A and B are shown apart, each in its own frame.
Chain A
Amino acid sequence: MIPGVTLELILYTTALGLVIIGLAGVVLSSHLFRMVLALVIAEAGANLMLVLSGYRWDAVAPILLQRAEQPTMVDPVPQAMVLTAIVIGVGIQALAVSILIRIRQRYGNLKRRDVAEKMDAEIAASAGIRRDISQDAPLGERPLSPLPAHTAESRGGDA
């Protein structure tokens, strides 16, 4: 093995990689179910990093023995926290899946852009206002039309 490569380095790389892949998937995926899967992966990376914070390479598992001198143990507090976080994670996942089922019942599919369009239209209709927001113009229509090319050039020359 290459000197300098320790177990902690490998595990930190894995944890950070999982978090980064999960967050990139949440941001970039175009399907809502894929978004839930990316959330699960990011949560796995966060759990790994939490357990890693209490890890020592020269320690034993945190189990008390009836012995005169107790060997060093790894920190049991992050492990207990992660034990809770795993179960809470499954609860969050079940909630997200149930929301997905309701979205599918209402809008027919789970494509992110499609669902956002339909949701915008529905909100605008229930509020009784004109819907002027789209994916291409997120802040609505511009108050002034953009300047033609030659005008912008001459103005830049003046300044």
Chain B
Amino acid sequence: MSEVELWIALILGIMMLSSAVLALVVKNHLAAVAAASVVSLGLALLFALMRAPDVAMTEAAVGAGLSSLILALALRRLGLWQIDSGRENSNLLSASSKGKDDA
């Protein structure tokens, strides 16, 4: 039981830290909002692991749902909303997928 919790916490922690870095590095603002939402979702799972089920529910609903909704709608008002940055490799994900297509 404890061993399983340890592995789950390790995987979630690595996922959260890497997607926190990704949220600050990636060019596309919508992808950055999605990465911040992944951090919130992993935090909700960690709260459930730490026997705080009420906090986990609130974090999943408010932190991951409402806050990323607010940020994404703000992106539309700020004129930064772009789903796909298309031609140039301005995006980490599009760059990697383009490289895969070439290979």
| Bound CA–CA A84/B21 (angstroms) | 26
Which residue of A7, A13, A14 contacts B2 across the interface (Cβ within 8 Å)? A7
Q: A1-B6, A21-B20, A86-B63 are in contact. Are A79 and B55 (CB under 8 A)?
A: yes
Chain B residue at minimal CB-CB distance from A17: B17
B81 to chain A, nearest CB (A): 11
DSSP majority for the B interface? helix
User: How many pairs of residues, A versus B, come closer than 8 Å at their CB atoms?
Assistant: 131
Number of interface residues of A (CB under 8 A): 48
| Bound CA–CA A47/B56 (angstroms) | 11
Show the binding face of B for A, using Cβ within 8 Å: 2-3, 5-7, 9-10, 12-13, 16-17, 20-21, 23-24, 29, 32-33, 36, 39-40, 43, 46-47, 50-55, 58-59, 62-63, 66-67, 70-71, 74-75, 77-80
| Bound CA–CA A51/B50 (angstroms) | 8
| Bound CA–CA A51/B56 (angstroms) | 11
Of the stretches A94-102, A113-121, A128-136, A137-145, the one at the interface is A94-102
**Across the interface, which residues of A come within 8 angstroms of B78, CB to CB?**
33, 100-101, 104, 110
A18 touches B16 (CB 8 A): yes
B23 to chain A, nearest CB (A): 5
15-60 of chain A: CB within 8 A of chain B: 17-18, 21-22, 24-25, 29, 33-34, 36-38, 40-41, 44, 47-48, 51-52, 55, 57, 59-60
B74 touches A101 (CB 8 A): yes
B17 touches A18 (CB 8 A): yes
List 6 additional contacts besides A18-B39, A61-B53, A83-B58; criterion CB under 8 Å.
A7-B6, A17-B20, A79-B54, A93-B67, A97-B74, A104-B78
B79 touches A104 (CB 8 A): yes
Chain A residue at minimal CB-CB distance from B10: A10
B24 touches A21 (CB 8 A): yes
Chain A residue at minimal CB-CB distance from B35: A37
Let me know if A5 is at the binding interface, CB within 8 A: yes
**Across the interface, which residues of B come within 8 angstroms of A104, CB to CB?**
77-79
